[in-house]
Amino acid sequence: MLSVMTRLHRHKHQKSQKTLVVKKQQKPKFIDRLVYVAAIVEPLCSLPQAYAVWSTRSAGSISILAWLGFVVMALIWIWYAIVNRERIIFIYQAMFFVIDSSVLIGAIYFGGRLY
């Protein structure tokens, strides 16, 4: 009798097995595709500023601190993207870094204002 009760007692305390549920990969949504387009277009919006600085060889109205801030923020985002393996963030922030760095270098070289 004791062995039957022991077996029943153990049976009640067994852990239930957890089932791993794998979700089906969903079809990309419109917003997902739109983000890729924005990631390419957004950094390109800084190109006219870079072109203006380098084509006119004048940077009197360019704030060095502002563009330095843009470059530093892009580096922080690039670091985040590498750590978290976020490809889209890496791509567009790398583009920002290149374009914003060209504006910053031009501003320093051609006499931009500090603030």
User: Domain coordinates of the chain in residue numbers?
Assistant: 47-115
Asked if residue 110 lies in contact with residue 59, where contact means CB atoms within 8 angstroms, the answer is yes
How high is the pLDDT of residue 77?
A: 96
Across all residues in the chain, what is the average pLDDT?
A: 87
* Alpha helices, H only, 30-86: 30-44, 47-56, 64-84
87-114 pLDDT, tens digit per residue, is 989 999 999 999 999 999 999 999 999 9
Domain 47-115 fold is: Monooxygenase (1.20.1280)
| For the chain, percent of residues with pLDDT exceeding 70 | 86
Per residue in 32-48, is it b (16+ CB within 10 Å) or e — as a string?
Answer: eeeeeeebeeebeebee
How high is the pLDDT of residue 32?
A: 84
The answer to whether residue 49 scores a pLDDT higher than 90 is yes
Please compute the mean of the pLDDT values over residues 69-85 and round it to a whole number: 97
